[in-house]
Structure 1
Amino acid sequence: MTEDEVKSILLALLGPIGSSLPPDDVIGWRHPAGITGASGAGVNDTTVDQYQQPVCSWTGITCDPIDESVIGLNLGNGFYIKTLLGLADDVVGEDRTARVLLQADDVVILNKTRCRETTLPTEYNRRISGVLSPSSLYPAFPSSLGQLQSLRFINLSSNRLQGDIPKSKVPSLIESDALRVLDISKNRFQGPLNERLFGHPSVGPYTAPYLMSLVKFDISHNGFNGTIPLDGTSGFYDANTKRDESLQNLHYFDLGNNLFTGTISNNFGNLDALQGLFLEHNRLVGTIPKSLFGSSPLPLVQLFLQQNSLSGTLNEDLAKLPNLKELYVDGNKFTGSIPQSLCSSNLNTAFVNNTQHSSACDDISCPANSASREGVYPCTPCPDDGGYHRYIGQHDSICRERMSEVEILDLFYDSLNGDEWFNASYFWTKGEHACEREGVECNTEGRVTKIVLPSLGLRGPLIPQLGSLSELQVLNLSNNQLTGFLPSDLRFPPLTTLDIRGSRLQGVVPPLLCLKDGINGNGESDSYACENIVCPTGTYSQIGRAALPENDGNVHVAIQCLPCYDDHARFYMGSDHCTDVFIAGLQIRRSEVRQGLIILIPLVLAMLIIIVFVKRRRKQQSSSASSVDDMSHEDDDYENENVDDSDDIALRARLSSLSIEADDDWTAADSEGEDSRPMNRTQQPLPGRKARSPYII
């Protein structure tokens, strides 16, 4: 690639926004067409020299000292947006998280410092609270970077980049087969990661070469959502060895501080060189996969899992990770206690700074029924007669009393906007006895056993405190506007029926809830499945979940969750219908059918106009020709009249001999054979019919 071609690619990063030149005292790149400043004055010599000098002397560019190819784009920490594009930094507050140092000799420092909650970047706090909105001033991902095939590192962190990673550029997003570092952290990216980003059956090493050389992958502090596309379907996955040949050089994998859902895939255990795995501050559920620390433990030094919704207990085999120095699991829904094998591993000393070592286990996570602002040392035990924290490592600086059932229902009512429910008779009065509320049933001891509130316009998230209703057996909240995620806390009550069909819940069913006996028949005949709880996203059934056939002597058919391409089912769990259209056995989205009709209707109208025009033209030609013929055969008409009358009489006689009834159920199929037509019917004239088209929508 020539020098001019490289410059053309780099200057394309300025884009349309680059036409608004930064102030003259800012050192940046200049497009040759933009040789004057914003005020009209000429730019300084330093700026002009940036373009005229070799590209290896440009600010933020690193070249190979031998062949002078571009190997690094160090445009992070605001350089790209503030210096090259001349846009102001709108973020207030200091980002104290560690940054990777990128140097010309390929030295990459692979570590991360956990920051205190009080020092989280201000932009992250604003994004999580939902008040951060995209701005039209900020650029999207500069896809032209991927054309530099000699790149070893790309640093675009802290630049306010927004949008998603262009799907059209994946997996050819980066064409370099030497890329070691990709850092786009602390930006405004959003949306799901493309399933081909880490490899796919249709992806090969020639279309995604970066998967073989990548050492650091950091997309933390953004708004990415959906599941993590690392499910073993890579094009480099070997089914015989059950190993993935891609990402085998990956040391640092940071997806923290995003909005990812789902579970931690077992395929993380295939990343043999992984030293740092950072998944903190997401919405992940399930347990810590044994593939990380099992028979072939990874060389993990740092494992950040705090502030998710992970559940279960901490496996003592985590201590088998030979190089582990930091393990953060606080702010989740783990039960039990910290295994002694972990307590003796001297973990988390850099963050906790526990010089007294009152309890080494507290350095990993505070025990249940204790208070701590950040879930680790120092931990304050709660009194046995009132304080109650169910999970280890809960983030709460004070001990809170156990909530009563009345308080739980009040919180449930407020969370689901009870004053807006459709039926006023269901409006609850705050503080009233639980058993006196409409839609609530209790046992003889006054404990809540049923909450039945279908189709009432409930709107909002399900509170995890429902898991503290110790006698709850039935929870029917079907056909409401439930949002958020299904709490794993529902595994604690003795639920037998859970109906949340027709809601707007996202994510996946927590795995421990999938293993709960008795709920919706789960566990019968040793059959456990998440679909018995609720149909996953992208599927549906008439009851919003799967069900085994009933064993009452009658014939019953099992209900399955079937694929559905409906837009609602694609995003939410528990869909009870699918508005897709089936044509010739193919399932098509209704939106696509409507779009096709919009295109088809004008074409049909145009064809009809053409047909009418052609017929009219032929009729005119036929009438002109027949007028001449009528004049020459005018005398023959009189002779043929008697013949026509006799033929007409014979035709009527033949029709009268047929027994055809004017039946509304008669179709074109009835004309295929006389055996299919009923005989001895009342003689009627042959009815006029309009063609029937099959009902498809």
Structure 2
Amino acid sequence: MGFADTIPARLGNLSFRISLDMSNNSFHGYLPKEMSHLRQLKLDLSRNLLIGQILSALSNCSRLESLDLSYNQFSGYIPKQGIGNLTMLKKLYHIYLTWNNFSGAILASISNCSKLAAISLGHNKFSGQIPNSIISLCHNKFSGQISNSIGNLRCLAVIDLSANNLTSEFSSSELGLFTSPNRLHIFKNCGLKGNIPDSIGNLSNLVILGLGDNSWTGSIPTTIAEINLSSSFLRGPLAPEMGELKDLESLDLSNNQFSGKILSSIWRLESLDHLSLANNSLQESISDNL
């Protein structure tokens, strides 16, 4: 169970403290205003029972580097003068606010921090359009189109926009915004449509691609280790290139409108551990291939 108490105000006296980890306890109540005295800090209060709004006074923590308030019961808006104003928090590179009850729009100023490498805001009640700097914003109420300036986030490793109300059509030119050396991109949304751009295949570090539950059309890129294109309204025969994915470990093409024969080369992919072709219109005897 861990510690079960409010966070003591006297923590604010530890102005020299660089790292403060109080995660995985049962701390409850509000953040004491004295925490704004911790100017240089990596703060982890995740997985507690903390409530209320984020202190606007956190903007006084001018050397704040990492903030993890995930898995609590915080609510309300991100204050304009607090962590929403990254012009005051130029050293901040990690923000984790996942699994709380935050609401309202994400302030555009959240994109002002050049060192920002990770923002995780999933499983809240955020709404409005998505600002330029994002990482995990799944299960919110975002709408509108995805900003091209996402491509300016050179350190971005993960994009998860799943379970929102986004609407957009991707072209090959727009996929130029994903040329940064990222390892993992996930676009499992509700409402995205258009062709799957060939330029996705230029992402040499891409490991996992999830595009399921959308209205995609077109062919599938061939340089990925894990592909999820389930429930994406894809149709036609399987692309021959699918049999050339030597590093492919997982392939989910279920709930589409693929037709024709299953490529014999798919059965020869030595790294493939998971294959789902359920609920398509494929026609072939598979007994000779297994």
TM-score (norm 1): 0.29
- Please report how far the alpha carbon of residue 294 of structure 1 lies from its aligned counterpart in structure 2 after TM superposition: 1.0
Higher RCO (CA-CA < 8 Å; seq separation 6+): 2
Deviation string, structure 1 residues 136-178 (Cα, Å, up to 9, x no partner): xxx3455542331011x11122223334435xx1xx4332333
**Partners in 2 of 1:323 and 1:305 — Cα distance?**
16
Aligned to 1:378: 276
Q: Is the 8 A contact 2:226 2:249 kept in 1?
A: no
- 2:94 pairs, out of 213, 216, 236, with 216
Aligned runs of 1:175-194 on 2, under 5 Å? 175-194=60-79
1:254 corresponds to which letter in structure 2?
S
**Partners in 1 of 2:173 and 2:105 — Cα distance?**
19
Aligned to 1:150: 40
Q: Is the 8 A contact 1:343 1:364 kept in 2?
A: no
**Counterparts in 2 of 1:317 and 1:379: CA distance versus 1, 3 Å:** same
Deviation string, structure 1 residues 162-209 (Cα, Å, up to 9, x no partner): 34435xx1xx4332333222112222334454566676xxx684xx2x
Aligned runs of 1:157-236 on 2, under 5 Å? 157-166=46-55, 169=56, 172-194=57-79, 205=87, 208=88, 210=89, 212-230=90-108, 234=109
**Counterparts in 2 of 1:26 and 1:273: CA distance versus 1, 3 Å:** closer
More helix by share: 1
- 1:252 pairs, out of 108, 112, 118, with 118
- 2:23 pairs, out of 61, 76, 100, with 76
- 2:257 pairs, out of 352, 369, 372, with 369
Bigger Rg, structure 1 or 2: 1
- Please report how far the alpha carbon of residue 303 of structure 1 lies from its aligned counterpart in structure 2 after TM superposition: 1.9
What is the DSSP-based 3-state SS (H/G/I as helix, E as strand, rest coil) of the residue aligned with 1:157?
Answer: coil
Aligned to 2:148: 266
Aligned to 2:176: 294
Deviation string, structure 1 residues 605-629 (Cα, Å, up to 9, x no partner): xxxxxxxxxxxxxxxxxxxxxxxxx
**Partners in 1 of 2:208 and 2:224 — Cα distance?**
10
**Partners in 2 of 1:31 and 1:180 — Cα distance?**
22
Deviation string, structure 1 residues 403-446 (Cα, Å, up to 9, x no partner): xxxxxxxxxxxxxxxxxxxxxxxxxxxxxxxxxxxxxxxxxxxx
**Partners in 1 of 2:173 and 2:66 — Cα distance?**
25
What is the DSSP-based 3-state SS (H/G/I as helix, E as strand, rest coil) of the residue aligned with 2:58?
Answer: coil
Deviation string, structure 1 residues 214-260 (Cα, Å, up to 9, x no partner): 22222222334444433xxx49xxxxxxxx6x321122222233323
2:198 corresponds to which letter in structure 1?
E
**Partners in 1 of 2:48 and 2:58 — Cα distance?**
19
1:260 corresponds to which letter in structure 2?
K
Q: Is the 8 A contact 1:274 1:300 kept in 2?
A: yes
Q: Is the 8 A contact 1:275 1:298 kept in 2?
A: no
Aligned to 1:438: none
Q: CA RMSD in A?
A: 4.3
What is the DSSP-based 3-state SS (H/G/I as helix, E as strand, rest coil) of the residue aligned with 1:294?
Answer: helix
More strand by share: 2
Aligned runs of 1:464-613 on 2, under 5 Å? none
- For structure 2, the residue ranges without an aligned partner over 5 or more in a row are 125-139, 229-241, 259-273, 283-290
**Partners in 1 of 2:170 and 2:65 — Cα distance?**
28
What is the DSSP-based 3-state SS (H/G/I as helix, E as strand, rest coil) of the residue aligned with 2:18?
Answer: strand
- Please report how far the alpha carbon of residue 28 of structure 1 lies from its aligned counterpart in structure 2 after TM superposition: 7.4
**Partners in 2 of 1:289 and 1:143 — Cα distance?**
48
1:148 corresponds to which letter in structure 2?
L
What is the DSSP-based 3-state SS (H/G/I as helix, E as strand, rest coil) of the residue aligned with 1:70?
Answer: coil
**Counterparts in 2 of 1:160 and 1:377: CA distance versus 1, 3 Å:** farther
Deviation string, structure 1 residues 342-369 (Cα, Å, up to 9, x no partner): 33322369xxxxxxx9795894652623
2:58 corresponds to which letter in structure 1?
L
**Partners in 1 of 2:243 and 2:32 — Cα distance?**
51
**Partners in 1 of 2:6 and 2:77 — Cα distance?**
33
- Please report how far the alpha carbon of residue 296 of structure 1 lies from its aligned counterpart in structure 2 after TM superposition: 7.3
Q: Is the 8 A contact 1:189 1:224 kept in 2?
A: yes
What is the DSSP-based 3-state SS (H/G/I as helix, E as strand, rest coil) of the residue aligned with 2:67?
Answer: strand
Aligned to 1:327: 209
1:330 corresponds to which letter in structure 2?
G
**Partners in 2 of 1:292 and 1:187 — Cα distance?**
37
**Counterparts in 2 of 1:293 and 1:312: CA distance versus 1, 3 Å:** closer
- Please report how far the alpha carbon of residue 325 of structure 1 lies from its aligned counterpart in structure 2 after TM superposition: 1.8
**Partners in 1 of 2:72 and 2:39 — Cα distance?**
24
TM-score (norm 2): 0.62
Q: Is the 8 A contact 1:216 1:253 kept in 2?
A: yes
Deviation string, structure 1 residues 109-148 (Cα, Å, up to 9, x no partner): xxxxxxxxxxxxxxxxxxxxxxxxxxxxxx3455542331
Q: Is the 8 A contact 2:171 2:195 kept in 1?
A: no
Percent of residue pairs bearing the same amino acid type: 21
**Partners in 2 of 1:164 and 1:29 — Cα distance?**
15
Aligned runs of 1:618-697 on 2, under 5 Å? none
**Partners in 2 of 1:282 and 1:189 — Cα distance?**
21
**Partners in 2 of 1:318 and 1:274 — Cα distance?**
16
**Partners in 1 of 2:170 and 2:102 — Cα distance?**
21
Deviation string, structure 1 residues 653-678 (Cα, Å, up to 9, x no partner): xxxxxxxxxxxxxxxxxxxxxxxxxx
**Counterparts in 2 of 1:159 and 1:382: CA distance versus 1, 3 Å:** same
Q: Is the 8 A contact 1:183 1:217 kept in 2?
A: yes
**Counterparts in 2 of 1:338 and 1:71: CA distance versus 1, 3 Å:** farther
- 1:345 pairs, out of 224, 227, 240, with 224
**Partners in 2 of 1:293 and 1:363 — Cα distance?**
23
What count of residue pairs does the alignment treat as equivalent? Answer: 236
**Partners in 2 of 1:325 and 1:69 — Cα distance?**
40
- Please report how far the alpha carbon of residue 283 of structure 1 lies from its aligned counterpart in structure 2 after TM superposition: 3.7
